Amino acid sequence: MTVRNLTALAPLIIVSATALAVMMAAALRRNHAAAALMTLGGIAAAFASLRAAAVLRPLAIGSSEAGQLLVIDGYGLFFMGLILLGSAAVVVLAHGYLERQAEHREEFYILLLVAVLGSMTLAASSHFVSFFLGLEILSVALYAMNAYLRARAISLEAGIKYLVLAAASATFLLFGMALLYAEFGTMSFDYLAGQMTAGIYPNRAMVTGGIALMVTGFGFKLALAPFHLWTPDIYEGAPAPVTAFVATVSKGAMFALLLRYFYSTGAYRLHSVFVVLAIIAAASMLAGNLGALLQNNLKRILAYSSIAHMGYVLVAFLAAGDLGPEAVTFYLIAYFITTLAAFGVVTALSPADRDAGRLGDFEGLIWKRPALGGVLTLALFSLAGIPATAGFFAKFYVVAAGADSGIWRLIILLVLTSVVGLFYYLRVLVAVFSRPLESRELAPQVPFASAFVLAGLSALLVWVGVFPGTILRAVKAAVGSLRY
Amino acid sequence: MLDLVWLIPALPLAGFLLLALFGPRLSRRAVALVGAGVVLASAVVSWLVAYSFLTSPPPGASYTQNLWTWMDVAGFQPRMALYLDPLSLVMMLVVTSVGFLIHWYSTEFMAGDEGYSRFFAYMNIFVASMLVLILGDNLLLLYLGWEGVGLSSYLLIGFWYTDPANGRAARKAFYVTRVGDTAMSVGLFLLFTQFGTLQIQDLMRKAHDQWGMVPPGGIATAAGLLLLGGACGKSAQLPLQVWLPDAMAGPTPTSALIHAATMVTAGVYLIARTHVLFEISPTAELAVAVVGAATLIVAGFSAMTQWDIKKSLAFSTISQIGYMFLALGVGAWSAAIFHFVTHAFFKALLFLGAGIVIEACHHEHSMFKMGGLRKELPVAFWTFTIGGCSLAGLPLVTAGFYSKGLIIWSAYASKGGALGLWAAAVFGALLTSIYTFRMIFLTFFGEAKSEVVKRPGTAMKVPVMILAFFAVVAGFVETPGFLGGVRVFSDFMSQALPDAVPRGSLAMSEWGSEAVVTLVFFAGLVIAYYFFLKKPALQEFVTAPAAGRALHRFWFSDWGMDWLYDKVFVQPILWFARINKSDFIDAFYGAVAAVTRALWVILRSTQTGRVRWYAAVVVAGTVLFVALALYL
């Protein structure tokens, strides 16, 4: 380990150290605010260290004959930054949420930091080993986070379901990796890329079959159809801040890896892989948008909506050329902002004994809580892709990328299913804007920090929708460093 | 200083947002202060910008302010940019200055109205949209402004929405202009697909390079005619003029600002802005001239027969915009803009004067129930008369004389001119003179038929006096050769619009043309005097015979075009809607919805909540995809 390596790894190291520090602090003396503050501080420090790491890029870490484990490049650092910012928002929202709970609260932040560590590892990994390690670090933390509110049966159920299904799909992933290793004798993306682009595969079945098995692992984590069935149950059952994390950070990290893996190995150019991914994208858009249609629980609606949105991202992913990865990255940013805002409102509105979710909970929100109602309206507009919000521009980008590479059937399906999507987003808005019949129990006042985060997210939503230029340049620079 | 341009549309927009969000909670004083204040600020900035533009002209006599690039995806780069050149500068000054005067007037005129803040919010968004339309550097902004003014026009016509008739008038205006808008958007798409750029100046350059060299193809003509269609809708020209008389249902300041001075001239702006297309295609250019000439006569006859003072003014507006179109059609670009400027002053003045009169007479619109108001409302009388003289073209001293005289002369002398067009324009001038003095005589002379219940205060008197001043002096910036030959206006405009090209061998001099115009002015005055003041019995004499009465009714009803459109378009559509109550197109969408719902039911059944089933689906999916991967 050289100083260079340590500097490059600083973001990861700082997050790990913070997790340990929070654990020690909780052991000495429980203090919720201190734990949250330490977590935020750690995340901020990690974020600040990205800049130092950026000077060194690109830098391969852990190089050996087996290949490099991690690569710290502009692309990876960009996604780490996105993960850290998203996590910071989740921490603030979670603090307000956990204040109302009787559980031990401090451990939540340890789990969250571990999950962040796993996500960041995924964003930087360029090797099957680091990939699987990152994935498991993330997943194991998520099992516990899903079931964090032990007193709630529905939370426990979510945790167990996620555990069983995630473990099962991870085995497919491992088996796929094994097949590829058996064929090529390497687990490094670089070596794989060299051999695959050279077209040297004695046994084609091993390669395409292996990739197809890996797709199951990806698909599960990203909640793509037909691996999506867990999503509504876990979204509904998990505590709202955890759902926000699962919906954004964990999926963003997975997509970061997916882009790197498929683009650097050129696997997406294989015809059969393309077809499989196209089917998955189409199935996800259909399953997500149709599933949400008459759903009466906002958390479940957002679950289905996330399935659909991941389908849209996959369409961008399948678009060839530079535009594809740019559209994916931009879409993920818009999706992070929007989803965090939506779940932020759910988190803020959740009373102590249950999570807000039923549409009834949101009836007349705009009249009772104009600010929260406004944020939710903006978020739903963005999810539906109404102009002047981040979601519109993101979708426009995806369509432009798709049209550019001529994948018309997917684009047309995207447009049609988006129309279906409009219906259920508007259904929520009808509830938000209807006159409340009776006054329902409401969560206490939104804490200042959460209000600040929600206001910031709403401002970002509009800013990215109206002036996408700045973000666009950053995305282009980041994707540009992803050499494939 | 030029970089302040963005403030000019931004200020009224800010006013709109402020009034829309907090209007109902503000006091009336604060509403008036915000509503009129932002337009005043915008006008001040306009004049500052204009001063800087004139004293230190930017290179190429144009200035582009790139605010931001909205997006940059796959070569599609719409910019949020403002473009300032003499054309947009002049229009911007008129819109903000006349706009402010009318806002000021409204602070008193609307004082008793419940929707005080709503009114100013709508007026502000109108001014903002109009400025975006004028200043936009690309088709996207142009279209945004175009639709924005359409929306605010709709909202203001139906401002008193509790009366269903006003709502109907608003919808009519919206539908009819929509016909033109559709033509225009097709035209804009056509231009975009041909040249691949949204920037208007780029587009014109490319059109000139690609289409200018070879004999014009069908596409250039088609694009020109489609844009003309849009212009006809917005500017109430034949055959889409039917909405403007009904638009008078809106508050009078609205009629003055939107339906006389500014918005209805958007079509003139559109054609002037895209003049390159019309220069390339003589067919399209001739069409503009013919539409203008026909409209000015048709509307002139109708204006003569109205009893409602505002409708008479509305037809007059249609007719005057016809003059502007005629000027555009014969290639006298700057003459059209000149007439736009003078018309904005005197027509806004006439409407505001009419507003004073109507308020004074218990909201009476009929000129035949007014009369003798000369003594009671001296300010209204004098200013209205000055405006009327300018409209009719009182020789030598009024602005209307110079601008209209220039158009009439150009209709004969410039490249696209012809004796027939000239004759039509002269005949239109006769009609103008008749209907203008008819209005003045009926309203202000004769015996008093109505008591005056409300006299205008300062906020209503001062703006009309300022407008009256400009209705006189605005003409002196451009005079014919034999009257000093001042060419300030056309020299300035020539930096943006080509000079009118004279055609060779003329049988008539400009002096002669102006003499004829002077003659018809006095002829109209005398006719109006005899018919409507001296011997009202003469009216009976003309309208008593069946033919006379029928003709009167025919002109009164806008040449029966409302009736015609009702029979040809409205009734068939209503009939179709009746027999098609359960819409067959709805059936299709209903089916889509039903299928979607059925799919939802199926999908829901997959959501069992059982982990073993979920796992089984994961496995099944994997098997399917592995099989696909292996055998594809």
Distances from the Cα of A257 to the Cαs of A215, A329, B5, B188, in angstroms?
A: 12, 12, 47, 44
Do B387 and B515 fall within a single domain? yes
- The predicted model gives B510-539 an average pLDDT of 86
Is residue B433 included in any domain, yes or no?
yes
Do B269 and B311 fall within a single domain? no
Per-residue pLDDT tens over the stretch B559-587: 888 888 888 888 998 898 888 887 788 88
Residue B97 pLDDT > 80, yes or no?
A: yes
Which residues of chain A make contact with B69, given a CB cutoff of 8 A?
A: 469
Is residue B556 included in any domain, yes or no?
no
Upstream peptide bond of B239 is cis (omega within 30 degrees of 0):
yes
Domain count of chain B?
3
- How does DSSP classify residue A385? T
Is residue B570 included in any domain, yes or no?
no
Do B172 and B55 fall within a single domain? yes
Per-residue pLDDT tens over the stretch B167-208: 999 999 999 999 999 999 999 999 888 888 888 888 888 888
Query: Which of B21, B72, B73, B617 is the best substitution to test chain A (most A C-beta atoms within 10 A)?
Result: B73
Do B160 and B181 fall within a single domain? yes
**Among B512, B528, B544, residue at a domain's last position:** B544
Q: Quote the ipTM score.
A: 0.91
Is residue B567 included in any domain, yes or no?
no
Quote the minimal CA–CA distance from A1 to chain B in Å. Answer: 41
Name the residue of chain B whose CA is nearest to A396's CA.
B73
Share of chain B above pLDDT 90, in %: 40
**Among B235, B265, B280, residue at a domain's last position:** B280
Do B132 and B245 fall within a single domain? yes
Q: What does the alpha-carbon distance between residue B32 and residue B496 come to, in Å, rounded to a whole number? A: 37
**Among B262, B280, B298, residue at a domain's last position:** B280
Do B256 and B297 fall within a single domain? no
Do B245 and B195 fall within a single domain? yes
B603–A291: do the CB atoms touch at under 8 Å?
yes
pLDDT at res. B2: 82
pLDDT at res. A444: 67
Neighbouring residues of A177: CB distance < 8 A, sequence distance ≥ 6: A128, A132, A187, A210, A214
pLDDT at res. B560: 82
Pick from B68, B596, B614: CB nearest A467: B68
Q: Answer for the pair B347, B386: CB distance below 8 angstroms, yes or no.
A: no
Residue with tokens 């047309």: A412
Do B331 and B395 fall within a single domain? yes
Is residue B571 included in any domain, yes or no?
no
Do B419 and B539 fall within a single domain? yes
How many other CB atoms are found less than 10 A from the CB of residue A85?
Answer: 18
Share of chain B above pLDDT 70, in %: 98
A138-145 own/partner pairs: CB under 8 Å, 24+ apart: A138/A250, A138/A253, A139/A166, A139/A170, A140/A114, A141/A111, A141/A112, A141/A114, A141/A115, A142/A115, A142/A166, A142/A242, A142/A245, A142/A246, A142/A250, A144/A111, A145/A108, A145/A111, A145/A112, A145/A115, A145/A238, A145/A239, A145/A242, A145/A245
- The predicted model gives B363-381 an average pLDDT of 84
Q: Which residues of A218-250 are buried (b: 16+ CB within 10 A; e: fewer)?
A: bbbbbbbbbbbbbbbbbbbbbbbbbbbbbbbbb
Residues in chain A where the model's pLDDT stays below 50? 484
Query: Is some CB atom of chain A closer than 8 A to the CB atom of B616?
Result: no
Q: What does the alpha-carbon distance between residue B267 and residue B180 come to, in Å, rounded to a whole number? A: 10
Do B534 and B614 fall within a single domain? no
Distances from the Cα of B380 to the Cαs of A474, B349, B351, B368, B436, in angstroms?
A: 63, 10, 11, 17, 15
Q: What does the alpha-carbon distance between residue A95 and residue A453 come to, in Å, rounded to a whole number? A: 12
Query: Domain containing B491: what range?
Result: 285-544
Name the residue of chain B whose CA is nearest to A234's CA.
B609
Is residue B550 included in any domain, yes or no?
no
Residue B213 pLDDT > 70, yes or no?
A: no
Residue B620, token pair as written in the block: 């099944």
Quote the minimal CA–CA distance from A28 to chain B in Å. Answer: 40
pLDDT at res. A66: 62
Query: Which of B69, B140, B622 is the best substitution to test chain A (most A C-beta atoms within 10 A)?
Result: B622
Q: Answer for the pair A472, A463: CB distance below 8 angstroms, yes or no.
A: no
pLDDT at res. B216: 60
Do B149 and B270 fall within a single domain? yes
Name the residue of chain B whose CA is nearest to A206's CA.
B630
A382 phi, psi to nearest 5 deg: -65, -40
pLDDT at res. A109: 95
Q: Which of A439-443, B53-57, B79-83 has the lowest mean pLDDT?
A: A439-443
Is residue B97 included in any domain, yes or no?
yes
- The predicted model gives B602-620 an average pLDDT of 89
B213 phi, psi to nearest 5 deg: -80, -50
Neighbouring residues of B164: CB distance < 8 A, sequence distance ≥ 6: none
pLDDT at res. B416: 81
pLDDT at res. A441: 58
Q: What does the alpha-carbon distance between residue A466 and residue A390 come to, in Å, rounded to a whole number? A: 8
Geometric angle at alpha carbon A131, from A129 and A136, rounded to 5°: 95
Do B412 and B433 fall within a single domain? yes
Is residue B461 included in any domain, yes or no?
yes
Q: Which of residues 255-274 of A touch B (CB under 8 A)?
A: 271-273
User: Please, which pLDDT band fits residue B239 given cuts at 50, 70 and 90?
Assistant: confident
